[in-house]
Chains A and B, each alone.
Chain A
Amino acid sequence: MNAIVTVIGKDKVGIMAGVCVAFEKTNVNVLDISQTILKDMFTMNMLVDVKNANVSFSELVDILDKEGERLGVSIRIQREDIFDAMHRI
């Protein structure tokens, strides 16, 4: 199952590292990344595969939430289906 991760917040050193370490620990595979800086705001979308994750989706949400808090950014993970439903016929 794929999921979309969105990271938004004030740019600083270590955001990407923090997010990727969290994924390594939970065995989540990153498939695609698009990242940009908009007026000092770090904005990143990632497509990840959570099929082999070693935690439940709900735990993953909490882990990323905590990591976001530590980094001072918002990290959100949602199943890809919700975006596909809205934007793909």
Chain B
Amino acid sequence: MLNQHEIIETLNMIDNQHLDIRTITMGISLRNCGHPDAKIAATKMYDKITKYAENLVKTGEEIEKEMGIPIINKRISVTPMAIAAESSETEDYTIFAKAMDNAAKECGVNFIGGFSALVQKGFTIGDRRLINSIPSALAQTDFVCSSVNVGSTKAGINMDAVKLMGNIIKDTAEKTKENDGLGCAKLVVFCNAVEDNPFMAGAFHGVGEPECAINVGVSGPGVVYNALKGVKGAPFDVVAETVKKTAFKITRMGQLIAREASSRLNAEFGIVDLSLAPTPAVGDSVARILEEMGLETCGTHGTTAALALLNDAVKKGGVMASSSVGGLSGAFIPVSEDEGMIEAVHKGVLALDKLEAMTCVCSVGLDMIAVPGDTTAETISAIIADEAAIGMINQKTTAVRIIPALNKKVGDEIEMGGLLGTAPVMPVHKESSYDFIMRGGRIPAPLNSLKN
């Protein structure tokens, strides 16, 4: 029998250290839902999603009860809508977003991702229609998440798309201003987007994915933080080993849940995404892990190195524990969702430039960052371009999820609610990037040798 220490350790992680399964995300292909008549296509999509995901929430709750571990979110991702809807004769894709939203409500999930376009090398007709529909789609739906991939290591960066996304983000903020620009919290601009990511807002069901797959996202910043408290002052090899062991245990749990869920739901087991995804709750912060390594405040010198170690050790521990690790796997640094990051911003220690450096070594990018409402579309585009360049050169996923806080200035806060948290408005450089962004065109794919 398991010994008492092991049982208590697991219960402690769940009860006191916020260990949870962050999300069970069902990926559903909508590739067979096309129709020239948009209304018919939307109905086909709604019917397919609600049929496949009918028991998703119920099954998640059953597993939660049997295993005694919280499964926080049950979600759905679908084929990028620019592909699924392309054969329909309509300019405005909001109708498809509404179909997704209604299906999400019917199934009882709290987010549905995949109002997406992949335009790293250029736009198709459907891509343009989708991107132009994003502001109204996000304003008229509650649960739909949108993402656009503007670059990749193989294709370079589509600077026309980067330019366009600056405007789309501003429009989305304007159209959802009653909710503090909430629409922008559901819109991600990617470079090297992954096709099996279970985490929102960037989840979509990639074109290489099967008909229906279950991807599970595990989390546990609080568990890692507590484990590190036990090795105070120890050298970094001990720190890395501790993180690895902890990540291993957490991922094993994710693997079990993913297998269980996929077999009960008759879907393929996709991947386990081991990401340290913080929540606004005290004790569930990635920033506090970095501080536990010996930094006075997250954002000070040494932060990038600390995050690099953390991110790498998490992956190493996780890879051993699951038959298939995928998604974004690593440490997330969403500012508004991390109580330690919020405090670091308020103290003036953590700034956009440091966050950008941190994104070079962690799993995603500039995430859940509020900037002043008067930030220009070109500045937002330039921020996206910088982030995409980091992803393109380093062959990693990077993303920007930025919220222009209308009528707010640096130091103010916007309240997103729930897991999205509270975003302090951060300063951006005032100097213009207008001429840079106006050039458009493409930044060519980088050389992958002669690395210096």
Q: Are B253 and A82 in contact (CB under 8 A)?
A: yes
- Interface status of A28 (Cβ within 8 A of chain B): no
Tally B residues with Cβ within 8 Å of A.
20
- Interface status of B152 (Cβ within 8 A of chain A): no
Q: A4-B2, A36-B4, A58-B62 are in contact. Are A85 and B68 (CB under 8 A)?
A: no
Q: Are B1 and A82 in contact (CB under 8 A)?
A: no
Residues of B within 8 A of A87 (CB): 2, 6, 9-10, 249
- Measured in the bound complex, the distance between the Cα atoms of B69 and A83 in whole Å is 11
Q: Are B4 and A79 in contact (CB under 8 A)?
A: no
- The 6 tightest CB contacts between A and B, nearest first, are A78-B68, A85-B256, A85-B252, A87-B6, A82-B67, A86-B249
Q: Are A58 and B66 in contact (CB under 8 A)?
A: yes
- Interface status of A45 (Cβ within 8 A of chain B): yes
- Interface status of A40 (Cβ within 8 A of chain B): no
Contact code string B1-18 (vs A, CB < 8 Å = 1, else 0): 111101101110000000
- Measured in the bound complex, the distance between the Cα atoms of B7 and A45 in whole Å is 8
Tally A residues with Cβ within 8 Å of B.
24
Residues of A within 8 A of B7 (CB): 4, 6, 45, 83
- Interface status of B242 (Cβ within 8 A of chain A): no
Q: Are A83 and B10 in contact (CB under 8 A)?
A: yes
**Beta-carbon nearest neighbor of B13 in chain A:** A86
Q: A81-B256, A85-B255 are in contact. Are A34 and B4 (CB under 8 A)?
A: yes
Q: Are B10 and A86 in contact (CB under 8 A)?
A: yes
- Interface status of A10 (Cβ within 8 A of chain B): no
From 32 to 89 in chain A, residues with beta carbon under 8 angstroms from any chain B beta carbon are: 32, 34, 36, 43, 45, 47, 57-58, 61, 76-87
The distance from the CB of B92 to the nearest CB of chain A, in whole angstroms, is 45
Residues of A within 8 A of B65 (CB): 57-58, 61
- Measured in the bound complex, the distance between the Cα atoms of B11 and A19 in whole Å is 19
Main DSSP-derived SS at the A contact region: strand
Q: Are A82 and B68 in contact (CB under 8 A)?
A: yes
Q: Are B253 and A86 in contact (CB under 8 A)?
A: yes
Q: Are B67 and A78 in contact (CB under 8 A)?
A: yes
Residues of A within 8 A of B2 (CB): 4, 45, 47, 80, 83-84, 87
Main DSSP-derived SS at the B contact region: helix
Given contacts A34-B4, A45-B7, A81-B256, 6 further A-B contacts (CB under 8 A): A45-B1, A47-B1, A76-B68, A82-B256, A84-B2, A86-B10
Residues of B within 8 A of A76 (CB): 11, 68
The distance from the CB of A27 to the nearest CB of chain B, in whole angstroms, is 18
- Kindly identify which residue among B3, B4, B10, B62 contacts A82, using a CB–CB cutoff of 8 Å: B10
Residues of B within 8 A of A31 (CB): 1
Q: Are A43 and B4 in contact (CB under 8 A)?
A: yes
20 cross-chain CB contacts under 8 A: A6-B7, A31-B1, A34-B3, A34-B4, A45-B7, A57-B65, A57-B66, A58-B62, A61-B65, A61-B66, A76-B68, A78-B68, A79-B66, A81-B67, A82-B253, A82-B256, A85-B252, A86-B9, A86-B252, A87-B9
- Measured in the bound complex, the distance between the Cα atoms of B7 and A77 in whole Å is 12
- Measured in the bound complex, the distance between the Cα atoms of B10 and A34 in whole Å is 17
- Measured in the bound complex, the distance between the Cα atoms of B65 and A80 in whole Å is 13
- Measured in the bound complex, the distance between the Cα atoms of B1 and A32 in whole Å is 8
From 195 to 246 in chain B, residues with beta carbon under 8 angstroms from any chain A beta carbon are: none
Residues of A within 8 A of B3 (CB): 34
From 1 to 19 in chain A, residues with beta carbon under 8 angstroms from any chain B beta carbon are: 4, 6
**Beta-carbon nearest neighbor of B7 in chain A:** A45
**Beta-carbon nearest neighbor of A33 in chain B:** B1
Residues of B within 8 A of A47 (CB): 1-2
The distance from the CB of B394 to the nearest CB of chain A, in whole angstroms, is 33
Residues of B within 8 A of A85 (CB): 252-253, 255-256
The distance from the CB of B199 to the nearest CB of chain A, in whole angstroms, is 22
- Measured in the bound complex, the distance between the Cα atoms of B289 and A36 in whole Å is 34
- Measured in the bound complex, the distance between the Cα atoms of B63 and A81 in whole Å is 12
The distance from the CB of A58 to the nearest CB of chain B, in whole angstroms, is 5
Residues of A within 8 A of B11 (CB): 6, 76
**Beta-carbon nearest neighbor of A32 in chain B:** B1
**Beta-carbon nearest neighbor of A81 in chain B:** B256
Name, among A47, A82, A84, A87, the residue most crowded by chain B CB atoms within 10 Å (CB to CB). Answer: A82
Residues of B within 8 A of A79 (CB): 66-68
- Measured in the bound complex, the distance between the Cα atoms of B181 and A59 in whole Å is 44
- Measured in the bound complex, the distance between the Cα atoms of B68 and A58 in whole Å is 11
**Beta-carbon nearest neighbor of A1 in chain B:** B66
- Measured in the bound complex, the distance between the Cα atoms of B9 and A83 in whole Å is 10
The distance from the CB of B322 to the nearest CB of chain A, in whole angstroms, is 11
Residues of A within 8 A of B249 (CB): 86-87
- Measured in the bound complex, the distance between the Cα atoms of B391 and A60 in whole Å is 50
